[in-house]
Amino acid sequence: MQTLLVGSNNAHKVQEMKEILETQGLARILVPNDVANFPSDIAETGSTLEENAYIKAMAIYENTLHTCLADDTGLEVDALQGAPGVLTARYAGEHASYTENRAKMLAALKDVPEAQRTARFRTVICYRDELRTLFAEGVCEGMIAQEERGSAGFGYDSIFIPQGYSQTFAELSTEEKHRISHRGLALRHFEEILRGLE
């Protein structure tokens, strides 16, 4: 089982990756504080999730020389022409809180009927080691709720209802969310790719 450096300072995202990868027996996880020379601030200047994931993975590998995994995730809302997309974490401003982002989205969709509130979460993972750069992707279709529901999860979880469910991500158990979520699907896709290289 290899050791992977997860390239994120987002504690919630790191925890999800640890829960998914370590419980699958795919990898032991290191976090930024575990290694020297981890870049303190990586500017996400890409115009796509793929570009941002690549920028982060390359910066981390070049600074630490450690096999690493970086990701970028976007929420694409059809009624908002695919926004916020790459700006998902900064939807309500550069340093916006999760609460502010959710409030802005609910306000933007205030008059949008349920049938038109379709959306999807998309995660792109970029893996980098001394030999290769690999990508994996996971998509979870769903819709934006009329109001916040549930207390688990983070980010937009309390307003995102995955397809086939009546509950938001924030109302599901951790195990169920990981099974169907964009990040869970991306990591399982990544697992398939890695196993194919063995």
Catalogue the active-site residues. 72
CA distance 172 to 14: 19
Give SS3 for 82.
coil
CA distance 134 to 189: 11
CA distance 94 to 16: 24
In sequence order, the 6+-apart residues with CB closer than 8 A to the CB of 174 are 19, 152
Can you count the helices (H) and strands (E) in the chain? 5, 7
Could you identify the residue written with the tokens 């964009």? 182
